[in-house]
Amino acid sequence: MPSPAVCMRGIVKSFSGVRVLDQVDFEVRGGEIHALVGGNGAGKSTLMKILEGVYSLDEGTVEVEGRPVQFRSSRDARGAGIAMIFQEFSLIPTLTVAQNVFLTREATGRIGLIDDREAERRTRELFGTMGLDVDPRRSLDQLPTTYRQLTEIAKALSQDARVLIMDEPTSSLARTETVQLFALMQRLKSQGISIVYISHRMEEIFEVADRITVLRDGRTVLTEDLANLTMQKVIDGIIGRKVEQTLEYRDRHLDSNAEVVLEVRGLVSGSKLRGVDLVLRKGEIVGLAGLMGSGRSELVRAIFGIDRVEAGEIHVRGRPISTAGPRGAVAAGIALIPEDRREQGLVVDHTIRENLLMPLLGRLSRFGLVDDGEGKRVTDSFIERLSIKARSINQPVRMLSGGNQQKVVIAKWLATEPQILIMDEPTAGVDIGTKGEIVVMIRQFADAGNAVIFISSELPELLAVSDRVLVMRDGRVERELTRGEIHAEEDLHHAVQGVN
C-alpha cells in the first residue's frame, strides 16, 4: 500500500467560538485520487484551507510525506508541494497561457528583463508532461473554459506540486471537457501525484476516485475505498439519514390547455440568440438543455431584460412587457436566479438581511426609511422556510456555505412573490441534500399555480423536475421533448449531442 502523501490527525478549528472542525482525520496516499465530500458547511473547505496554509489549526497534526509541518501561509504549503486549484480561477484572462503559468515568477534574461520566450518554452514542456498540446502564446480569454482549468494545473505543477487540491473542478465544464480533465487526472496519478477531489457530483466521484472521505458537521463520518461503497451509502453519510430520492421525476398531471403565462416570439439578442420561440403554461416546469454556448443563459438573460433584445417580443399573460431592463420583468412577475451566485446574485460582504431585502426596498420603505420590523419578519420567515443555516440575519453572506448562499439568492427572489421563476444552474456547487430541497421547492412553487424555466447541465436534474425539455443549439430551440418522450437519461443526452 502506498505511503501517505498527507496525513492530518485530530484537526480542530473554531471561528468566533463555533467549532467547525472537530477531531477530523484525513489521509491522502501517494498517487491517489481521494474524494472529499460532505454537505455545505460540513468543513471540507476549512480542512483544505488548513492544508493549503490559509488557516492555522487550533489542535491536531499535519504531516507531509512523513514529516510534521506547520504552515503559516500558502507559500509554506507550496514549498512543501501542496497546491489548491480553486473553483474561482486565480488567472488573468487577458494574459497568455505562459504568462499566467509563471505569473509573479517570470523568467528573466541576462539583464533582468522578462523573457516571454523562455516562459513559453517551459510552459510547452509542462503541458507535454501532462500529455497535452496547448499553445502557450494564446491569450487565455480566447480559449474554452477547460483551458483555464488546465492552465491552473500547469501553474501548480510548475511549482513542483505533488498534492493537488481540486475544488469543484467540473462546475464550469461541459461533459466532453470533464472527460478530458479526468483523463489528465489519471495521467497525473500515474506520475505519483496525489489529488484531493472536492465535488458534489456523485456520478463523477464514482467515476474518478480511488477513495472517499465523508465529512458531516465538522467530523469524519467515513473513509473507505470506492470498491467498498455504494452511492446510496455515501449520500446517507453526507446527510446523516436515509433520504428519499427526490431527484426522480414525478408525474404532475398537467392541464395541456392551461393559461399561457409566458410567450416568447422570435427573440434575437447579440450573436447567441437567433429567433427563439417559447411557450410556458401555468403550473408548468420547462427545462432548457444544451451544450455550453447553445444560448440557454443568453435566452433567460434576454427575457429578464439583462441583455438587449434586438428583435422579437415577450408576452406575460398576453401582454407585452418592456425588454429595456430587469425592472419591467420584475414588475411583470418574473424573477431570475442567476448562473453565478457570487458575482450576479449576491453582495457577499453584505448581511443575509441586506441581500434578501434588496429587491424589496421600494415595498418596505416609507419616506426613504426601511421598516426594520417588517424587514426582520420577512428575513426570518425565509430563513425558516428554506432552512438557511446561519448564526443570525446579520451574518455576512460570505461566511455562509455555498448551499446556504444559494438559498439566500432563491429567498431574495421568492420574496418578490413572482409568478414566473427562471433558474439558471440553481444547484451548481451545492450538496445532495440541498439539491433535494431545491427540487422540492421548485415542485411546490409550480404546484401553487406558478411556472418555472429550469436550466441545468446535470441531465438527471432536468429529468427530475421538467415537464417538457427544450433542447437548444446555436441560439435556437432545436427540439422539444415531452417528459413522456424521454425514457432514460441517454435519450436526453443524445438529443443534446444532436444524435437522432
User: In total, how many domains does the chain have?
Assistant: 2
Which domain, by its residues, includes 342?
Answer: 260-497
Same domain, 230 and 269: no
Same domain, 346 and 483: yes
CA distances from 500 to 7, 351, 458, 470, 487 (A): 50, 49, 20, 15, 14
Same domain, 287 and 399: yes
> Is residue 246, in this structure, part of any structural domain at all?
no
pLDDT string in tens for the chain (500-residue length): 667 999 999 999 998 777 889 999 999 999 999 999 987 778 898 999 999 999 999 999 999 999 999 999 988 998 999 998 865 557 888 899 999 888 878 777 777 777 788 889 999 988 888 888 889 999 988 877 778 878 888 888 888 889 999 988 887 677 777 888 898 899 899 999 999 999 888 888 999 999 999 999 899 999 999 999 998 888 888 877 655 555 677 777 788 889 999 999 999 998 888 899 999 999 999 999 987 778 899 999 999 999 999 999 999 999 998 877 888 899 999 999 998 887 788 998 999 999 998 888 877 777 667 778 888 889 999 999 988 888 889 999 988 888 889 999 999 999 999 999 999 999 877 777 788 888 889 999 999 999 999 998 888 888 889 999 999 988 899 999 988 888 777 788 778 766 65
Same domain, 234 and 271: no
The dihedrals phi and psi of 422, each to the nearest 5 degrees, come to: -105, 125
Distance of alpha carbon 96 from alpha carbon 103, whole angstroms? 10
Distance of alpha carbon 83 from alpha carbon 152, whole angstroms? 10
Sheet strands side by side (includes 420-424)? 334-337, 420-424, 451-455, 285-289, 468-473, 476-482
Same domain, 231 and 271: no
**H-state helical runs in 256-414:** 296-303, 326-331, 352-357, 361-364, 372-385, 402-414
> Is residue 253, in this structure, part of any structural domain at all?
no
Return the CATH number at 163.
3.40.50.300
